[in-house]
Amino acid sequence: MIEHFTPAEIEAMRPAGRFVAETLATLRDEASVGTNLLEIDARAAELIAQAGATSCYVDYHPSFGAMPFGKVICTSVNDGALHGLPHDYRLRDGDLLSLDFAVSIDGWVADSAISFVVGEPREEDLRLIETTERALEAGIGALRVGGRLGDVSAAIGAVCRGAGYGVNLEFGGHGVGREMHGDPHVVNDGRPGRGLKLLPGLVIAIEPWLMLGTDRIFTDADGWTLRSADGSRAAHSEHTVALTEDGPVVLTAPTLPLG
């Protein structure tokens, strides 16, 4: 069921969005060569506890996961595209790291993802990350009252394909509200003028993700991490966005790191 929320309910979502943004900024600021993925997860758990928030991931067990996720943040490294399960791995110089994070505060969920390079970056990685960020901006810009959901998908796909990347349609954005994943599904490519009519009160996570050399994925032996089929690197950008009468409002807009 597709939900539409009142202006007051959207305002109530802001603390969760702000916390998710602040936490991702903090984790990015603290990540460096030698940081263990398990340390990132533990730090995120510490911040969740301090804020009185609730992780959306620990008990999460959809059909595509081998077991409950068991951690509080997704840490996808290099060829890890999505749902990276934190494990005993220390970041190396030049690693491309994607962090995907969702929590609930006072019953309202926010979900966001960032990608960045630890240490000395490769130009191709920076271009990949920048393309996901531009595609995210394009998708947000296409979220307009009276439009169609296909407008959002088409805007994302135009940026991605225009940069020369293939687009995987198996995983994409989704509705957000009281739960992390709800309707509608927001694919990362499509045709304008098609699909759901966009009305005020819709809240969705828009999340373009790309791989350098393929649009195909496989599931790692850990039962969760989705990796590029050819071993090429991946990047992921995501925001939770509310559609209002005045246009889109990014609830997980970047802020300063937590102190």
Share of the chain above pLDDT 90, in %: 96
Q: Does any domain span residue 236?
A: yes
Reply yes or no on whether the pLDDT at 258 is more than 90. Answer: no
Across the chain, what does the average pLDDT equal?
96
Number of structural domains the chain divides into: 1
22 is in an annotated binding site: no
The pLDDT tens digits of the residues spanning 100-134 come to 999 999 999 999 999 999 999 999 999 999 999 99
pTM, 2 dp: 0.96
The pLDDT tens digits of the residues spanning 28-81 come to 999 999 999 999 999 999 999 999 999 999 999 988 899 999 999 999 999 999
pLDDT of residue 254: 85
pLDDT of residue 194: 97
Q: How confident is the model at residue 259 (pLDDT cuts 50, 70, 90)?
A: very low
Q: Does any domain span residue 183?
A: yes
Reply yes or no on whether the pLDDT at 255 is more than 80. Answer: no
The residues pairing with 217 across neighbouring beta strands, listed in sequence order, are 228
Reply yes or no on whether the pLDDT at 232 is more than 60. Answer: yes
**CATH number (domain holding residue 31):** 3.90.230.10
61 is in an annotated binding site: no
The pLDDT tens digits of the residues spanning 159-182 come to 999 999 999 999 999 999 999 999
pLDDT of residue 257: 59
100 close to 121: Cβ distance less than 8 angstroms: no
Cα→Cα distances 174→36, 149, 171, 179, Å: 30, 11, 9, 10
pLDDT of residue 256: 53
100 is in an annotated binding site: yes
Q: Does any domain span residue 127?
A: yes
The tokens of 191 are what?
């045709």
Q: How confident is the model at residue 19 (pLDDT cuts 50, 70, 90)?
A: very high
Q: Does any domain span residue 109?
A: yes
Domain that holds residue 19: 7-250
Token match 């969705």: residue? 204
Q: Does any domain span residue 19?
A: yes
Cα→Cα distances 253→21, 86, 183, 242, 249, Å: 6, 25, 22, 12, 9
183 is in an annotated binding site: no
Q: Does any domain span residue 171?
A: yes
207 is in an annotated binding site: yes
